[in-house]
Amino acid sequence: MSPRRRECEDPVEVEGGPCIAKVVDDDAEGGTRECGRSTVSSCWYGKGKLYCASHRTAWNKSKAQADDAEEPSYLDDMIEVIGTRYCEPSKMKPAEKYNSIKKTSLQFCVQGTFIPEGYERGTTDTRWQTVDELVAAISREDFEYQSSEYIKELQKSFKRDAKRFKTAAQLARE
């Protein structure tokens, strides 16, 4: 199990110590201090950071809001394809990491102009787009041109980087 967070099979509440979350003082100076409320934990959360229940809940809520913060928008003009992926390893469950990856979930890292819903103008941004999102946004000709440029650059970089590897004869001599 991960040392950072362990799921408890048989939770036992233990006194954890004072909460270390920073709060604004009520005095006239408006400085900050540690919350100091007692923390009760049923699991070890790692790195020695202790938070009371209200601060832990607030932190989890703010983290979830940050993950969902990207407002809905659509691709208006694709500038270039920067990369591709079939998965995001940091978001995979252990069972997914150790089994074969479905090749139907191809995504393209696209730089382009994205327009938020309800607005007339967009901003240049880089985002992961599925094939369905690209089909709805650009023409076949644009996609073929942009992807061919990406493949050319990818081939150049593979050829350049392949020179850094040793040949089979060099490996055999060692």
Domain boundary residue among 56, 88, 103?
A: 56
Q: Are residues 93 and 118 in the same domain?
A: yes
- Scan for tokens 């500038």, then name that residue: 79
Radius of gyration (C-alpha) of the chain in whole angstroms = 25
Would you say residue 158 lies in a domain? yes
Instruction: Please tell me whether residues 102 and 27 are part of one structural domain.
Output: no
Last residue of a domain, one of 15, 31, 56: 56
Q: Report pLDDT for 118.
A: 82
- The residues with which 127 forms a beta bridge, in sequence order, are 110
Rounded Cα–Cα distance for residues 37 and 149 (Å): 58
Asked whether residue 67 is domain-assigned, the answer is no
The three-state secondary structure class of 18 is strand
Task: Write out the residue range of the structural domain in which residue 158 sits.
Answer: 73-162
Is 5 in the same domain as 83?
no
Structure tokens at 166: 């040793």
| Helix or strand (DSSP H, E) at 81 | strand 73-85
- Beta carbons within 10 angstroms of residue 142's beta carbon: 13
One domain, residues 16 and 47 = yes
Please tell me the total count of domains within the chain.
2
Please report the DSSP string for 121-160 in residue order. Answer: --EEEEEEEEHHHHHHHS-HHHHHHHHHHHHHHHHHHHHH
* Structure confidence at residue 158 (pLDDT): 92
Q: What is the pLDDT of residue 150?
A: 92
Amino acid at 5: R
Is residue 113 assigned to a domain? yes
The pLDDT tens digits along the chain (174 residues) read 444 444 444 444 445 667 766 666 665 565 656 776 766 654 434 445 666 766 666 666 655 554 555 567 788 889 999 998 888 788 778 887 788 777 667 899 999 999 888 888 888 999 999 888 999 999 999 999 999 999 999 999 999 999 999 899 888 998
Query: If you ran DSSP here, which 8-state letter would residue 164 be given?
Result: T
pLDDT of the residue at 111: 93
Q: Which of 16, 70, 60, 63 is nearest to 39 (CA)?
A: 16
